[in-house]
């Protein structure tokens, strides 16, 4: 959860990082059955700032999710939905850049 994935430290990038981190924490909280203490023990504390960021961005995030879910089930819209999703994923991967390994992957056990 501590990885900073944005390319720069601009105001926008820092805000986007905080929002992404809050959404990650809320999903992790769901995996912990809603137990904030369990999530915190596993390194994903969920606080008031996270709740505020979720509340502010939920209409956009969930609205887009619902729109894309419906579009993907309609034959006339499926191609548009697929192209949009592919474009968003490619843009996100470009934003994150190339992974920088800090360990030697050749030292991992074969398996």
Query: Does residue 4 form part of some domain?
Result: no
- For the stretch 44-56, pLDDT in tens is 999 999 999 999 9
- Tokens 């309609």 — which residue? 74
Query: Does residue 51 form part of some domain?
Result: yes
Query: Does residue 107 form part of some domain?
Result: no
Domain that holds residue 90: 11-99
**Residue 110 CB-half CA count within 13 A:** 0
- For the stretch 68-100, pLDDT in tens is 999 999 999 999 999 999 999 999 888 877 766
Q: What letters, b where the CB count within 10 A reaches 16 and e where it falls short, cover 4-19?
A: eebeeeeeeeeeeeeb
**From 3-7, 27-31, 60-64, 96-100, the region with the lowest mean pLDDT:** 96-100
Query: Does residue 105 form part of some domain?
Result: no
Query: Does residue 111 form part of some domain?
Result: no
pTM of the model: 0.75
């Amino acid at each position: 959860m501590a990885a900073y994935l944005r390319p720069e430290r601009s105001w926008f990038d820092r805000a986007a990082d905080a929002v992404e981190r809050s959404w990650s924490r809320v999903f992790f909280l769901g995996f912990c059955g809603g137990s904030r203490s369990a999530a915190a023990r596993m390194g994903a504390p969920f606080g008031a700032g996270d709740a505020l960021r979720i509340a502010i961005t939920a209409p956009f995030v969930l609205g887009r999710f619902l729109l894309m879910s419906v579009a993907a089930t309609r034959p006339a819209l499926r191609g548009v939905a697929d192209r949009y999703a592919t474009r968003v994923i490619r843009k996100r991967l470009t934003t994150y850049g190339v992974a920088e390994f800090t360990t030697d992957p050749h030292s991992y056990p074969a398996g």
